[in-house]
Chain A
């Protein structure tokens, strides 16, 4: 029986057997969730009182607050300003955006935040360490926020076979790759293009806005990115990226890749940057099964008239079976597919806006 964690603007909803089995943190934004080794982790954004991290060891029945990622003291001479707003970079947690397991330790975790910090915990969130090797890259000062005041790390793609190889996706700061567990980093977004920049900066890998990047577990050299300006694929470990085009649109936020077949990926298109709703009011999922040469448009079971759902970057997830997909929308609907996206069933239309969806076992 699937257990699915759905983080929303007003709480965490746990679905089992297609029903809402549990409600946690009702009223509080839940911005990231992770199930791992029998523990659940939930990032709760308390707004006025800051972002917190909670952990459950009994499948969500009870939660304990654990440490949230925290910045070290900001040096007095740090002169860092947003290149767009001119505001000084805060050395302080605003939002926890993504949590991922680090297979090198049973309780090891990665965390990506706004502002754009990558953190590591060796003890399941008991304590956190800012990965200074990425934070201290001079290029970080060129990153800028897309939709938020400051940039953030929303994607952490670990190579399950060689877990010292990790890619971090940044809006708007491109993609960054380490092959030594975070000691050193190199930019990994060459080939992406940014129409929102002046012509001479469009190819700059450091200012790209990948909305979400995923990695094929069974073929870790293959990545897919849903970028602000389209869909990109890398088949060479993120050393280069190539754009692919989808109908009815290549704009969106979410992407999921099949866990074993690197040529199969799913997207949820919206019209375009300036109009973030489904094309012609019909919600569809697009799927490629040939590495992006062609896309199918899947709509069975999804609303096809006056449907104005947007699927956020963490709102689409594929299960390890490669057949079961879960999807939650800004309008509070939640769907499940058991046939690789061919057909969908709405399990709820009444949730708060959905931020993130994760399968738990």
Chain B
């Protein structure tokens, strides 16, 4: 199963341990994570389900292309990393 990991900056705010979840796309894998911890959903996607503007998801080191429908395919052994853009002061 794909493995989903989260940036330490997010782990500081909400409980989100790494998880092995079923799913053939980024959206399916994240949906499985959100089913386990519903609060986490709003931290990663906006009210319409698209990735938040300053959240980046990498699959095998590549940033996903479809940030709206999260349709990028993931292999069964994929590493999905939920990261953030850096900004602010």
A interface, CB within 8 angstroms of B: 46-50, 52, 65, 68, 70-71, 73-74, 90-93
Tell me if B48 and A49 are in contact (CB < 8 A). no
* Residue from the list B43, B47, B48 in contact with A46, Cβ < 8 A: B43
Interface size on B, residues (CB 8 A): 18
How far, in Å, is B31 (CB) from chain A's closest CB? 16
User: In this assembly, does B42 line the interface, its C-beta being within 8 Å of a C-beta of chain A?
Assistant: yes
Tell me if B39 and A49 are in contact (CB < 8 A). no
Can you list 8 residue pairs at the A/B interface with Cβ under 8 Å? A47-B88, A48-B87, A49-B84, A52-B42, A65-B14, A74-B48, A90-B48, A91-B47
Tell me if B46 and A49 are in contact (CB < 8 A). no
Measured in the bound complex, the distance between the Cα atoms of B55 and A48 in whole Å is 6
Tell me if A48 and B46 are in contact (CB < 8 A). no
How far, in Å, is B29 (CB) from chain A's closest CB? 19
Q: A65-B39, A70-B42 are in contact. Are A49 and B47 (CB under 8 A)?
A: no
* Residue from the list B46, B48, B87, B88 in contact with A50, Cβ < 8 A: B46
In the complex, what residues of A have CB within 8 A of residue B84's CB?
48-49
Tell me if A48 and B48 are in contact (CB < 8 A). no
Tell me if B9 and A92 are in contact (CB < 8 A). no
B interface, CB within 8 angstroms of A: 9-10, 13-14, 39, 42-44, 46-48, 52, 54-55, 84-85, 87-88
Q: Supply 20 further A-B pairs (C-beta < 8 A) apart from A49-B14, A71-B48.
A: A46-B43, A47-B54, A47-B88, A48-B87, A49-B43, A49-B52, A49-B55, A49-B84, A50-B43, A50-B52, A52-B42, A68-B42, A70-B42, A70-B47, A73-B48, A91-B47, A91-B48, A92-B47, A93-B46, A93-B47
Secondary structure of the B contact surface, majority rule: loop
How far, in Å, is B63 (CB) from chain A's closest CB? 15
How far, in Å, is B69 (CB) from chain A's closest CB? 13
In the complex, what residues of B have CB within 8 A of residue A46's CB?
13, 43
In the complex, what residues of A have CB within 8 A of residue B48's CB?
71, 73-74, 90-92
How far, in Å, is A67 (CB) from chain B's closest CB? 9
In the complex, what residues of B have CB within 8 A of residue A74's CB?
48
Most chain A CB atoms below 10 A, which of B10, B39, B46, B84: B46
Tell me if B10 and A49 are in contact (CB < 8 A). yes
How far, in Å, is A205 (CB) from chain B's closest CB? 29
In the complex, what residues of B have CB within 8 A of residue A49's CB?
10, 13-14, 43-44, 52, 55, 84
Q: A70-B47, A71-B48 are in contact. Are A48 and B85 (CB under 8 A)?
A: yes
How far, in Å, is A352 (CB) from chain B's closest CB? 12
Measured in the bound complex, the distance between the Cα atoms of B50 and A74 in whole Å is 12
Measured in the bound complex, the distance between the Cα atoms of B84 and A92 in whole Å is 19
Measured in the bound complex, the distance between the Cα atoms of B49 and A90 in whole Å is 12
Residue of B with least CB distance to A66: B39
How far, in Å, is A135 (CB) from chain B's closest CB? 13
Measured in the bound complex, the distance between the Cα atoms of B54 and A73 in whole Å is 21
Tell me if B55 and A71 are in contact (CB < 8 A). no
In the complex, what residues of B have CB within 8 A of residue A91's CB?
47-48
Residue of B with least CB distance to A44: B13
In the complex, what residues of A have CB within 8 A of residue B13's CB?
46, 49
The 5 A-B residue pairs whose C-beta atoms are closest, nearest first, are A92-B47, A92-B46, A48-B54, A49-B43, A71-B47
Residue of B with least CB distance to A52: B42
Measured in the bound complex, the distance between the Cα atoms of B49 and A74 in whole Å is 10
In the complex, what residues of A have CB within 8 A of residue B10's CB?
49
Measured in the bound complex, the distance between the Cα atoms of B49 and A71 in whole Å is 11
In the complex, what residues of A have CB within 8 A of residue B44's CB?
49
Measured in the bound complex, the distance between the Cα atoms of B52 and A70 in whole Å is 14
In the complex, what residues of B have CB within 8 A of residue A48's CB?
9, 52, 54-55, 84-85, 87
